[in-house]
């Protein structure tokens, strides 16, 4: 689980930041294309409103990822570092597939006509 694996914790944080729409991550792509199309159609007030709403959602996801990474889940056992144990295959599978979905922004030129 993400509470006992630092790799999954960092990937969860990157996923939340991708939802917030930070530029190197995949969540930035839909926001960029929407803003670009709104400005092309001369809908500047709506584009400005969308950009401000994006900043609010980014602030929310930043706070959520900060609290996720800085707080420790309740630990009923006496072992303080459970993450040093052998990881399960689901953890390895998630740690390989999440970066592929998060870092899809370099594929943007292939999507635009």
Residue 85 within a domain: no
Residue 7 within a domain: yes
User: Domain range spanning residue 36?
Assistant: 1-73
Give the list of residues 6+ apart from residue 14 with CB closer than 8 angstroms, or none.
25, 98, 99, 102
With H, G, I as helix, E, B as strand and everything else as coil, classify residue 108: helix
Residue 5 within a domain: yes
Residue 59 within a domain: yes
Looking at the structure of the chain, the number of domains it has is 1
Residue 103 within a domain: no
Residue 1 within a domain: yes
Residue 83 within a domain: no
Residue 108 within a domain: no
Q: How would you write the pLDDT of the chain (113 residues) with one tens digit per residue?
A: 555 667 777 777 888 888 777 777 777 888 888 899 999 999 999 999 998 988 888 888 888 878 877 776 655 555 555 555 555 566 667 667 777 666 666 666 676 66
**Rounded Cα gap, residues 78 and 98, in angstroms:** 31
């Amino acid at each position: 689980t993400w509470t006992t694996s630092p790799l999954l914790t960092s990937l969860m944080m990157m996923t939340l930041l991708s939802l917030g729409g930070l530029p190197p991550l995949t969540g930035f792509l839909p926001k960029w294309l929407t803003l670009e199309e709104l400005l092309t159609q001369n809908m500047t007030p709506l584009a400005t409103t969308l950009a401000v709403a994006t900043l609010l959602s980014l602030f929310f996801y930043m706070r959520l990822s900060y609290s996720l990474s800085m707080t420790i889940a309740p630990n009923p056992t006496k072992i303080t570092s459970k993450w040093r144990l052998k990881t399960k295959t689901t953890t390895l599978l998630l740690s390989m597939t999440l970066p592929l979905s998060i870092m899809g922004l370099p594929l943007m030129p292939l999507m635009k006509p």
